[in-house]
Amino acid sequence: MIVQISDFLRHVGEEVTIQGWMYNKRGSGKIYFLQLRDGSGMVQGVVAESEVTPAVMAKAEQLQMESSCKVTGIVSKHPKLENVFELQVNDIEIGQIPFEDYPIAKKEHGPDFLLDHRHLWLRSKRQWAIQRIRNQIIRAVYMFFDQRGFIKIDTPIFTPNACEGATTLFELEYFDEGKVYLSQSGQLYLEAAIMAVGKAFDFGPTFRAEKSKTKRHLTEFWMMDAEAAYLEHEDSMKLQEDLVTFVIQHCLQNCLAELEALERNIEPLKKIKTPFKRLTYTEAIDELHQRGSDIQFGQDLGNDDEVLLTQDSEVPVFIHKWPKSIKPFYMKTDPENSDLVLNDDLIGTEGSGELIGGSQREDDYDTLKAAILKEGLQGPEYQWYLDLRKYGSVPHSGFGLGLERMVRYVCGIEHIRETIPFPRMLTRMRP
């Protein structure tokens, strides 16, 4: 019977076959300990000379790192460790023995070497754990929005207009239509969709020609945008904190083995509950000054500022109501201060930085039109967007969660390049 390693708990004492790879081996002659993986998990296979035929013993000897193989044996509980199993091997069927040595050895490799071998690096335990957590985060997002009555709407990737400023657009020629861009965010299209379906989210690849080399920026990343009609600024922040809390709880319930494989200290994650802390941008600048920063009102927050603002907090922090001058055209003016907009950035704890950017959207036709022109954007490409303020305009808000930022946060990893299977960055396009 073919069984997944992750199901071993239900097969103790039974003979099973696993289909996978051998990633390491110890022992010699009389007994071999095979480290086996099948994608669902990892297990130690014990091959004892006293229990198997000489032919099986010979195959155990032949197996090299990353050989593919099917291994049959009896599932047993680890003598000492809880929830750890072993396979008492009876038979081995070799698939392929690598005909060159596997390039990723146990020794330490530099990041460039590992990234050049990303197609193989993905097999390592740490990368395996990260991708499984990423998958659970995606699942959690879908579950959350389904429970809240949002439907998934797929927004286009080729777009004629900019959503997040012209400086980070990837441009390409589109047949006879001229220049188009790769989407920076599906937001503008979601705004159209919610006037039909009320509440919607999208989840797909987005692109930014980020010229900066940081541990938090990719040029291709996955974003979940959410948008809802009749949702206003305060309630949008509530939705955001509920989403982030839900995702973290889901990971704590479903990814303990993976978090352990990453040696992630989960205590900080356990402490995350709503409500999150809220600071206006103005308060944040004051607080930064008190902490010795020389940031000026009207400047964007840097990584160091974000760390300063969250270092004493057990929960993520919203920085909201930013100066209009440094934010995109579509954000709604704060009715209490026309220099500010009703937006928020959500900053994670433990130095993880910005997870979400969101805002209430300008719903007045003339105000929005003026903002578009002021930003120097081409009027005609935004006419359909303006139309939404012509035919039954309503207050509405939304936000975008960067998937890789969230994976980085949950996994507690330093560099965003490990959060996505094949990272694209300023100087990295391959494999």
405 forms part of the interface with ligand 4AD (CB under 6 A):
yes
Structure tokens at 337: 């201060």
Of 155-184, binders to ligand 4AD (CB under 6 A) are: 163-164, 184
Structure tokens at 324: 């209009």
CB of 185 to ligand 4AD, least distance (A): 3
- Taking the CA of residue 52 as centre, how many other CA atoms within 13 Å lie in the half-sphere pointing to its CB? 26
225 binds, among ligand 4AD, Mg ion, none (CB under 5 to 8 A by kind): ligand 4AD
Please say whether the beta carbons of 418 and 130 come within 8 A: yes
Q: Which of 37, 132, 199, 217 is close enough to bind ligand 4AD by CB under 6 A?
A: 217
- Can you spell out the DSSP letters for 289-345? HHTT--PPTTPPP-HHHHHHHHTT-SS-EEEES-BGGGS-TTBPEETTEEEEESEEE
Q: Which of 69, 218, 308, 377 is close enough to bind ligand 4AD by CB under 6 A?
A: 218
Of 317-376, binders to ligand 4AD (CB under 6 A) are: 354-358
Place of tokens 């960055």: 425
Q: Any long-range contacts for 307-311 (C-beta under 8 Å, 24+ apart)? A: 307/351, 307/353, 309/279, 309/284, 309/347, 310/347, 310/348, 310/349, 310/350, 310/351, 311/351
145 forms part of the interface with ligand 4AD (CB under 6 A):
no
- A 10 A CB-CB count for 412 gives 17
Q: Which helix (H) or strand (E) holds 284?
A: helix 281-290
223 binds, among Mg ion, ligand 4AD, none (CB under 5 to 8 A by kind): ligand 4AD
CB of 220 to Mg ion, least distance (A): 17
Q: Which of 49, 91, 210, 287 is close enough to bind ligand 4AD by CB under 6 A?
A: 210
Distances (CA, A) of 365 to 115, 160, 162: 48, 21, 19
Please say whether the beta carbons of 19 and 79 come within 8 A: no
208 forms part of the interface with ligand 4AD (CB under 6 A):
yes
3-state SS of 339-353? EEECEEEEEECCCCE
CB of 72 to ligand 4AD, least distance (A): 44
Q: Which of 66, 86, 225, 334 is close enough to bind ligand 4AD by CB under 6 A?
A: 225
Binding piece for ligand 4AD, criterion CB under 6 A, among 34-42, 142-150, 318-326, 398-406: 398-406
Binding piece for ligand 4AD, criterion CB under 6 A, among 83-91, 216-224, 243-251, 302-310: 216-224
CB-based burial label for 106 (10 Å; 0-12, 13-18, 19+)? exposed
**Site map 108..127 versus ligand 4AD, x via CB under 6 A:** --------------------
228 forms part of the interface with ligand 4AD (CB under 6 A):
no
Q: Which is nearer to ligand 4AD, 86 or 227 (CB)?
A: 227
357 forms part of the interface with Mg ion (CB under 5 A):
yes
Q: Which of 400, 407, 411, 428 is close enough to bind ligand 4AD by CB under 6 A?
A: 400
Q: Which is nearer to ligand 4AD, 3 or 356 (CB)?
A: 356
> DSSP strand E in 29-82: where?
31-37, 42-48, 67-77
Contact set with Mg ion (CB under 5 A): 357
Contact set with ligand 4AD (CB under 6 A): 163-164, 184-185, 187, 208, 210, 217-218, 221, 223, 225, 354-358, 398-400, 402, 404-405
